[in-house]
């Protein structure tokens, strides 16, 4: 049991209501780190206990339930709070961890946003693929390149058989790096534009 859930009520029903509430909060904070989760729980705990002590009538269970009703169900406000915490320190181009946080936020906002996030994720993979191809071209110039097959299919990657025409040669290195960087910057911009909408 989390130390923040520790027994504070004599009445078992009240204690159960309290534990259930904080467990729900904890569950909704799953994307946050331990420090951020504890911060939210501590603030809610202080809020609920103060609200509880302000109520003079009723049993312990009735009073804590009333305090919870006033505060609201975790699903009503914790997701937004979690979103805010995930955005902390997230500014355009401020690092992979923050971009990952923005990715998580978008992915959890419904089917449309999930598909959008998948496309963005695919874009990042593509940028990485261009970057990798450019780097590998330095070490394996005969096998890595932009090729045209005999059936006129263009592709970038590894080839060790006959029947392919290499198109870019060593130009793949600057072109690949350029495409990778441009694509990454473009995707970062799209993803971080979401901040302004919060």
Partner 1 sequence: MYFMDTDVLNDQLNKWKLQLRKGVLLHMTMSLLNKEEMYGYALISFLSKKMNADMAEGTIYPLLNRMVRDGIIRFEWRIMQSGPARKYYQITPQGQQLLKQMHQHWQLINKNLQVLNNE
Instruction: List residues binding partner 1 (CB under 8 A).
Output: 39-40, 42-47, 49-51, 53, 70-72, 74, 76-78, 80-81, 83-85, 87-89, 198
Nearer to partner 1, 34 or 150 (CB): 34
Nearest-approach distance from CB 161 to partner 1, in angstroms: 55
Nearest-approach distance from CB 54 to partner 1, in angstroms: 8
Q: List, in order, residues 6 or more apart from 24 with CB less than 8 Å away.
A: 73, 74, 75, 78
Nearer to partner 1, 23 or 164 (CB): 23
Nearest-approach distance from CB 51 to partner 1, in angstroms: 6
Terminal-to-terminal C-alpha distance of the chain: 34
What is d(CA 110, CA 116) in angstroms, rounded to the nearest whole number?
10
Nearer to partner 1, 43 or 148 (CB): 43
Nearest-approach distance from CB 40 to partner 1, in angstroms: 8
Nearest-approach distance from CB 47 to partner 1, in angstroms: 5
- What would the DSSP string read from start to end of 111-165? HHHHHHHHHHHHHHHHHHHHHHHHHHHHH-TTTEEEEEETT--EEEEE--SSSEE
Distances (CA, A) of 124 to 45, 100, 118, 127, 175: 41, 11, 10, 5, 17
CB 188 within 8 A of CB 93: yes
Nearer to partner 1, 21 or 130 (CB): 21
Nearer to partner 1, 101 or 133 (CB): 101
Nearest-approach distance from CB 138 to partner 1, in angstroms: 42
Nearer to partner 1, 44 or 134 (CB): 44
What is d(CA 127, CA 37) in angstroms, rounded to the nearest whole number?
34
What is d(CA 44, CA 47) in angstroms, rounded to the nearest whole number?
5
């Amino acid at each position: 049991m989390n130390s923040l859930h520790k027994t504070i009520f004599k009445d078992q029903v009240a204690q159960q209501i309290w534990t259930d509430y904080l467990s729900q909060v904890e569950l909704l904070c799953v994307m946050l780190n331990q420090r951020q989760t504890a911060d939210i729980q501590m603030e809610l705990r202080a809020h609920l206990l103060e609200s509880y002590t302000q109520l003079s009538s009723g049993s312990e269970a009735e009073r804590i339930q009333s305090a919870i009703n006033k505060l609201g169900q975790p699903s009503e406000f914790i997701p937004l709070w979690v979103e805010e915490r995930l955005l902390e320190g997230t500014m355009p181009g401020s690092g992979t961890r923050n971009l990952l946080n923005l990715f998580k936020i978008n992915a959890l906002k419904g089917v449309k946003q999930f598909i959008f996030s998948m496309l963005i994720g695919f874009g990042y993979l593509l940028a990485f693929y261009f970057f990798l191809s450019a780097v590998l071209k330095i070490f394996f110039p005969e096998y890595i390149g932009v090729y045209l097959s005999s059936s006129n299919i263009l592709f970038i990657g590894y080839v060790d058989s006959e029947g392919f025409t290499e198109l870019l040669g060593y130009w793949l290195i600057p072109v690949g790096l350029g495409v990778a960087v441009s694509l990454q910057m473009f995707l970062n911009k799209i993803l971080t534009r979401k901040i302004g909408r919060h």
